[in-house]
Amino acid sequence: MSSRTQTFSIAILLFCIALLALATGLQGSLVGLLASQADFGGIAIGYIATGYPIGILLGAWLVPRMIEEVGYIRVFAGLASLASSSALLLAVFVEPTWWFVLRVLTGISTTGLYIICEAWLNASTSNRTRGRVMAVYLVVTYSMMGAGQFLLNVDDGSGYIRFLLASVILSLALVPITLLRIDVPAVVKTPPVSLGVVFRASPLATYAIFVNGLAQSALFGLGSAYGVIKGIPVWWISVMIALPTLGVTIVQYPLGMLADKVDRRLVLLTISLVAAVAAFLAATQQGSLVITIMMFAVFGTLAIPTRSVALAHINDQMESRQMLSASSRLFVIYGFGSSLGPLLVGALMQSTGPDAFMYFQAAIFISVLLVSALRMAIGPARRRSSQVKDAIATWHIVPRQQTNPAHKTAEQKGRSQK
């Protein structure tokens, strides 16, 4: 593949990913916003928000098997149609149980779409450029998720327009990726690694990733509901949810560079401390909307990258051949935390009030701080030559194995042998 063709392919893939992130950002907050306005109740809202991370877990397990059976392109087309249809049906069946089911389907489909996009993106880059390209990938993903929050302000008197908009965006993401001529990566099997091995390698990283799942699922699943209950106008709710994702695009790489130079556990301890303080100040701030939103933004900006730093830390403790399988296990831990977060926070908000949302966040990051301090007191950490940016490049939604042009016809060969 020539340099110009490679650049064009990467640009098209990033455009497709941008559309996926834009629709995902809009739909996630829209469901929480409308569920709160429909007075479903905190427990029901948390139940609905749990559907998406459950779908992520199911998608991470089902989609690779689907790809083995029918290939990347067919799976992508089917999942894009499923995601688009689910967005439309949310507007038709405005009821908690239906919304939970549809959010599970959305989680399955969008996870599969990200799997395929990441595999193709890896196949389109060389070892020399992969780290930088994947850094751009993360910036595009988080910035477009943030941009999706502003689509909450689209005038929608009928209640259908914003769901229709999300469906159209998801459908448009199908167009470039199905028409693009690009090498299809092969599915490469790696040695299995158990959860016990992962935990023993780094209890801190394992726990931090679990907490990150708790925090992120509550932040994006219930953040808009928190804003409605607090009486924050919709425009400011969209700003409040958008700022953390936009902030991550600024701090992600500098944090990675810092964690390459000092003990990663110290970085986890520091950002957990600042995140916990910001969450506590947001919970106790009653007079100023601006300060509340600022503290919310600071919290989210630092809470989200804890996953990348934790992954880099556990990467230091394991052999490189184990990392793909270990990352899969860590994703299960993250998904388990994501499934629990909305349920716990929704129940707390219903029983004690909306401020429980940020008190919960403060408490769980204080716990990460304490575990970090404990692990540092036990002894020094072992470090291999891998870097945070390499860990970020190999694990975002689900891990993908590195591919090369030799895999160009692997899918076609697999079909001919069946």
CATH code for position 88: 1.20.1250.20
Q: Could you tell me if 224 and 33 are in contact, meaning their C-beta atoms sit under 8 angstroms apart?
A: yes
Measured CA to CA in angstroms, residue 180 lies from 1, 43, 170, 245 at distances of 14, 44, 17, 29
Q: Could you tell me if 360 and 344 are in contact, meaning their C-beta atoms sit under 8 angstroms apart?
A: yes
Distance CA 397, CA 331 (A): 8
Please, what's the b/e burial string for 314-341 (b: 16 or more CB within 10 A of its CB; e: otherwise)?
A: bbbbbeeebbbbbbbbbbbbbbbbbbbb
Whether residue 398 lies inside any domain: the answer is yes
Q: Could you tell me if 375 and 313 are in contact, meaning their C-beta atoms sit under 8 angstroms apart?
A: no
Whether residue 418 lies inside any domain: the answer is no
pLDDT value of residue 407? 40
**What is residue 311's DSSP assignment?**
H
**How many residues make up the chain in this entry?**
418
Task: Provide the domain limits for residue 350.
Answer: 3-412
Contacts of 128 (CB under 8 A, 6+ apart): none
Distance CA 312, CA 326 (A): 12
Inform me whether the pLDDT recorded for 393 exceeds 80: no
Q: pLDDT tens across 23-33, in order?
A: 988 888 788 77
Cα 380 to chain centroid, rounded: 30
In the structure encoding, which two tokens stand for residue 308, read together? 């990348």
pLDDT value of residue 187? 56
pLDDT value of residue 126? 64
pLDDT value of residue 389? 40
Mean pLDDT of the chain: 78
Inform me whether the pLDDT recorded for 330 exceeds 70: yes
pLDDT value of residue 410? 41
pLDDT value of residue 296? 92
Distance CA 358, CA 245 (A): 17
Q: Could you tell me if 263 and 339 are in contact, meaning their C-beta atoms sit under 8 angstroms apart?
A: no
Whether residue 387 lies inside any domain: the answer is yes
**For the whole model, what pTM was predicted?**
0.69
Whether residue 349 lies inside any domain: the answer is yes
* DSSP string for residues in 162-202: HHHHHHHHHHHHHHHHHH---PPPPP-------HHHHHHH-
Whether residue 321 lies inside any domain: the answer is yes
Residue given tokens 């304490």 in the structure block: 370
Distance CA 261, CA 387 (A): 10
Out of 111-125, 205-219, 220-234, 314-328, the most confident range is: 205-219
- Helix or strand holding residue 251 (H, E): helix 234-261
Confidence of residue 394 (pLDDT cuts 50, 70, 90): very low
How big is the CA angle at 399 (ends 385 and 310), to the nearest 5 degrees? Answer: 50
Q: Could you tell me if 348 and 361 are in contact, meaning their C-beta atoms sit under 8 angstroms apart?
A: no
Count of domains for the chain: 1
Whether residue 209 lies inside any domain: the answer is yes
Confidence of residue 294 (pLDDT cuts 50, 70, 90): very high
333: left (phi over 0), alpha (psi -120 to 50) or beta: alpha
Whether residue 117 lies inside any domain: the answer is yes
Least confident among 60-69, 97-106, 165-174, 292-301: 60-69
Whether residue 289 lies inside any domain: the answer is yes
For residues 174 and 410, the model is more confident at 174
Q: What mean pLDDT is predicted for residues 33-54?
A: 80
Q: pLDDT tens across 50-83, in order?
A: 888 888 888 877 877 787 778 777 888 899 899 9
Q: What mean pLDDT is predicted for residues 359-371?
A: 95
230: left (phi over 0), alpha (psi -120 to 50) or beta: alpha
Q: Could you tell me if 275 and 267 are in contact, meaning their C-beta atoms sit under 8 angstroms apart?
A: no
Inform me whether the pLDDT recorded for 326 exceeds 80: no
